[in-house]
Structure formats: C-alpha cells, structure tokens
Structure 1
Amino acid sequence: MSAQPTMEPAPARALNMADALARRSRSHPDRDAILAKKGRGEWTRTSFGELEARVAAISAGLAASGVTQGMRCAVFVRPSADLVAVVYALFRVGAIPIVADPGMGRERLLQALEESEPEVFIGVPKAHAARKFFPKAFQKVRLAITCGPRLFWGGKTLAQIERLGRTAQHPVEPSTSEHDTAAILFTSGSTGPPKGVVYTHG
C-alpha cells in the first residue's frame, strides 16, 4: 500500500480591504464616493480620488506615528467623510479598527473596550473627555488622536496626522492577507457580555 501524498494548504492571498478604494480611485477618480450633509439642504461631496488621497496621507501619518499591522485602534468618530477616511487608512496600515455602537450603553461600551484593549484611540473631543473619566478601559492606549480640536488630553489631531503623512517619502503598501483581521465590531443587538464580531480582509 502506497502512502497518500499530503496536500499542502494553499498560501493565503495578499488582500486588503482598502484595495477596492485604490482601484476605484484609478478607474473613476471624479465620481462621488461620499455625500455628507453639511447643513439645511447643503451637502459636501468627496470624490474617490479625493478620498484615496486622504487615505494615503492618513495611513502614512499613522505609520510614521508608530501604528503598525495588527495594532488595535478604537474609533469613536461620527458618521462622516473623516470616519470613512480613518477606517480605510487603518485598513491600509493593517491596523484593526474597533467600532462600537453607542446604543450599547455606557457600561457595555466600556466593557467592550476593556475586552478589546486598544492601543490607539481615535475619537471626537467628547469621546476623549470620556476617556479621561474612565481610564480603566483605555489602559493600553499609547497614541491618542483627536478628530477635531484637541483640548487638555494631549496627543495629536487627525489634521496633524494627515499633514505628517503628506510629507512622507513613501506611501504605505498593504501587507495583509485574506485571513488577517480587518476590523472588530461591537453591536447593541446582543444580550449578555458584549462580544466583538471579527471581520477579515478576505
């Protein structure tokens, strides 16, 4: 009886969630990527080309600030062009955005943050103020980035990160595979302890 040859598992494909944005920006740079309400009857438009340029700058700025592949990053930014740009920039770096539904309530939200142990916190000023009042949930945070004006909590602003990235000599090249974690999402729909849903780049 001859031994059956063992089948080697296929190598993981190189893949990144931000790849689709890069392709779209090349094929349709002037098409609208984001329509955001600015005021009564006013909307701001962001094209795929503009969004890609912001993602390239923010990802390079994050990398220059020490954000690396696999690093967990809590994101507390309102739905906006900034939120989309930040999340795609994190994808490109290979860092893992952690997004939680505010409807979970304060206690479950803090529990979710304690469980996920983010090393980077990107949020609006109100979220950073809350971080100072509940430090236990943010013990591992090494880099704080404010989306908007920065007050007493220090760290950097998203505008500073973006400017830093625009001066970088080389853009960030994704190095993730289809099986790597892309994001962790906590929702308010479940009962019991909050459990993050893990999404991969594949």
Structure 2
Amino acid sequence: MNVASLVLERARQDPAAVAIHYPVSARGQKVSYAGATNRELDRESDAIARGLAKAGVTRGMRTAVMVPPDRSFFALMLGLLKMGAVPVVVDPGIGLRRL
C-alpha cells in the first residue's frame, strides 16, 4: 500500500468529499483557501500521469518538482506517485542562484 493507492481507494469510497485544501490568495496576514474533491484530484492526477508518461517519465525516475503549493502541486505529486516516479521537491522560493 502506498500514498497513491490510499488516495485512489478514498476517491472510490467518497468521490465528493474534499481531499485537499490549498491556498488561493493572501491579503496581508489573511489567507483564503479552496478545496478539491477526491474525484477532481484523482482525475487531474491521472491526466498529469498520462502527460508525463508521454513525455518520457518512467517508473523510478527522479523528477524535480518546483511549483508553488497550490492545487497543481498536489495533482502533480499524486500523478508522479501513481506512475511510480520519484518526486524531488524543490522550494520554488529558493531561486535559481541558490539552487
């Protein structure tokens, strides 16, 4: 059992339940959040996994992930895990010079 299979099981059990909350905007110290359902996250991550496979990403391949912590981050991470790729998360705030 891995993270991807747990998410898939949850999506089948309760597709309309909110799977994630992610930041959508920040005004001062107040941050607004939105949610994505199990069904949405499952579909988005499947589409990403298909696209990555077409681009040549394979099981076990290390893949740099350098995106902000928004909805796309979660879908991308799950897509990579579904296909067995190894995400290597890099903080996008670090900047190229410090990378």
- Name the TM-score class by shorter chain: 0.7 to 0.9
1:43 aligns with 2:29: no
Query: What's the CA shift for 1:28?
Result: 1.0
Match of residue 78 from structure 2: 88
Q: TM-score, normalised by structure 1?
A: 0.42
- CA distance in 1 between counterparts of 2:72 and 2:43 reads 13
- Distance (whole Å) between structure 2 residues aligned to residue 105 and residue 42 of structure 1: 25
Work out which of the residue numbers 40, 46, 49 in structure 2 matches 1:56. 46
For the residues of structure 2 that align with 1:52 and 1:101, how far apart are their CA atoms?
Answer: 24
Which protein is bigger by CA-based radius of gyration? 1
Q: Partners in 2 of 1:99 and 1:81 — Cα distance?
A: 15
Amino acid at match of 2:34: T
State the alpha-carbon separation in 1 of the partners of residues 55 and 93 from structure 2.
31
In 2, Cα distance between equivalents of 1:29 and 1:48 = 5
Higher-strand-fraction structure: 2
List alignment gaps of at least 5 residues for structure 1: 1-14, 111-202
Unmatched 5+ residue regions in structure 2? none
Partners of 1:17 and 1:42 in 2: how far apart? 27
> CA RMSD for the aligned pairs?
2.3
Partner SS for 2:3:
coil
Rounded to whole Å, the distance in 1 between the matches of 2:60 and 2:43 is 23
d(CA) in 2 for partners of 1:65, 1:105 = 25
Contact 1:16 1:92 in 2 (8 A): no
Q: How many residues align?
A: 95
Q: 1:102 to 1:20 in 2, by over 3 A?
A: same
Give the letter for the 1:21 counterpart.
Answer: V
Q: Find out whether 1:75 has 2:65 as its counterpart.
A: yes
CA-to-partner distance for each residue in 1:93-148, whole Å, 9 max, x for gaps?
A: 111100134687867x53xxxxxxxxxxxxxxxxxxxxxxxxxxxxxxxxxxxxxx
2:79 is matched by which residue type in structure 1?
A
TM-score, reference length from structure 2:
0.80
Sequence identity (%) = 38
**Equivalent-residue separation in structure 2 for 1:102 and 1:42 (angstroms):** 20
Equivalent position amino acid for 1:24 in 2: R
2: CA distance, partners of 1:61 / 1:101: 23
Distance 2:22 2:93 in 1: 22
- Residue 30 of structure 1: SS of its match in structure 2? coil
- CA–CA distance in 2 between the matches of 1:42 and 1:69? 36
